Amino acid sequence: MQEPYFIFDLDSTVTQEELLPLLARQIGMEEKSTEITEQARRGLLPFEESFRLQIELLRQIPVEEAQKTAGEIALNDRLAAWIRTHRERCFLATEHPDVWTPTLLRRLQMEGRCFSSKTITRNGYIDRISYYLNKKEIVGHFPAPLVAVGDGASDAEMLRLASVGIAYGGSKPIAPAARDNADYCVFDEQQLCALLDHLACPQPIASAAIPTFLRP
């Protein structure tokens, strides 16, 4: 068996918090942002539409300020260290605009290894969205086996299509759609890294080799 590639959702998977509420709080729009997010999580609003509404809400924040907020966000340090150690086979995925994340990616040592949405900027502010990242499209980019890790409903199809899908609930509850499409549900960062260590092994992995607490 070939060594797998790994793709990690960013918000509440690699980071401890979600970026959108932090940005919305800066302009007094946290309640509105949360409302949009909840509508998408409950299936009342398509993810792409909710993303566009969020960007419209937050475009008044200078890109430089958004970069600073993203760069200072708390990380799941053990997982971040695992990703750095295995950097050559790891990638990140986020619907967030690429202009928001450079500082955070440098901190993670993952520059150039993040799938994200794209925007056009004007005078230091987001002007419009030029490309929306649908995470399920990522899977087809990898010829080798792929392990996907995420926690949200927008990660569900990525988890389903990957060779191994892991729903991680270490920072917040796993979305039902992610749970239902995952091969494993893990709720502890140390246990997640233990499972990743097993999956990183190039030898075939029998289910008996995986600790009981990590099985589906």
Q: Which fold has domain 19-69?
A: DNA polymerase; domain 1 (1.10.150)
Residue 67: which residues within 8 A CB-CB, separation 6 or more? 99, 100, 101, 102, 103, 104
Residue 136's pLDDT is 93
Share of the chain above pLDDT 70, in %: 93
Domain boundary assignment for the chain:
5-17+73-214, 19-69
- The CATH topology of domain 5-17+73-214 is Rossmann fold (3.40.50)
Burial of 147 (0-12, 13-18, 19+ CB in 10 A): buried
Taking Cα atoms as reference points, which of 98, 173, 95 lies closest to residue 136? Answer: 95
Burial 1-33, CB ≥16 within 10 A → b, else e: eeebbbbbbbbbbbbbebbbebbbeeeebeeeb
Q: What is the pLDDT of residues 75-124, one digit of tens each?
A: 999 999 999 999 999 999 999 999 999 999 999 999 999 999 999 999 99
What number of CA atoms fall less than 13 Å from residue 128's CA on the CB side? 1
Judge if pTM exceeds 0.95: no
